[in-house]
Homo-oligomer: A and B are copies of this chain.
Amino acid sequence: MTWLTSSIMARRGVSQSIEGEKHFLSEETQGQFHYVYGPYADPVMHIAPGDIVVVETLDAFGGAVKTENDLPSKVLNMPFVNPQNGPITVKGAQKGDVLAVYIESLLPRGAQPAGTTALIPDFGGLAASSLTHLNGPIAERVKKMEVTPNGIKFSEQITLPYEPFVGTMGVSPEIEAVSSLVPDYYGGNMDLPDVAPGSAIYFPVQREGAYFFIGDCHGRQGDGELCGVAVEIPATVTLRIDLIKNWTIPGVRIETENFIMSVGSARPMEDAARMAYRDLVRWMVQDYGFAEDEAYFLATQAGKMRVGNMVDPKYSLGASMLKKYLV
């Protein structure tokens, strides 16, 4: 956590305490899970900046898809999908602040096979929707996979690396309560693999206490989350949550030891790409002293673009720059 404490925390003037109080938000403590990011639910926990929170999340199906025979169209009850833990309030958080969430670890929990993916009617990057097209649906299907920190058993022949991340995380909008299936400036269902252990995620606080939510962990995912369903797992996530005053950000930003990333969530996809790069340029100008045209040039020649999801109500893309070029 050297880069985090020395670079981010010190620079942002956050609390000097390396580690605050430790909280445990178990599935039982959570009790009722939530399906919107909003200010209307009662907080389930109150913490202080610098505290550690260990959270037990459900998978995106709320555990309802237990076997490969549990078809989503049968066992899911819209809009009650993608259950979220929270809201957690952070002491002192005000509109205009930044909530910095550092992901320390993410481990699968529950009986094996814990990983679930599925083809769901009217959903997915290569599936036409009955709201826009006349074509018949593609066949529904559930696929279960064993998930351990040693790997994800996709098939007898193929084992994929365990590269877990949090699919849905963020703060509450000020007055809206938005489905946990949607990503936007406040975070939410970004389905972006960089929201992973080792990353600090910065969220623009919209209301007093921040109202932090988290859920929808993934054992791994390819770029774009093509069929709309990653390797969905119930998980135990350990977070260090901090507060940064006097830093205004228009949307979600991410920092790791090696790079900074701005996230854009929008449709069509080019608007998400523009939002991500536009904010990366803004960040390079405001915090790293670049002239705007030089930042634009450097992003052109050295920027990286991650396609997080191409399936959710808004697509999420992340534009990043290696820190070694921020000189």
Q: Using CB atoms and an 8 Å cutoff, list the residues of chain A in contact with chain B.
A: 35-36, 38, 40, 79-80, 117, 119, 124-128, 130-139, 141, 143, 152, 154-155, 157-158, 160, 174-179, 220-231, 250-251, 266-271, 273-275, 277-279, 281, 292-294, 296-305, 307, 310, 315, 317, 319, 325, 327
Contacts and interface: CB of A to CB of B under 8 A. Distances in A.
Contacts of A80: 175
A301 B250 CA distance: 30
10 contacts: A40-B40, A128-B128, A128-B133, A131-B278, A134-B296, A136-B136, A141-B293, A154-B298, A226-B300, A227-B296
A160 B301 contact: yes
Contacts of A224: 273, 277, 300, 303, 305, 319
B158 A221 contact: no
Given A131-B250, A158-B325, A293-B139, A274 B223 contact: no
Contacts of A221: 300-301
A228 B299 CA distance: 11
A97 to B, nearest CB: 17
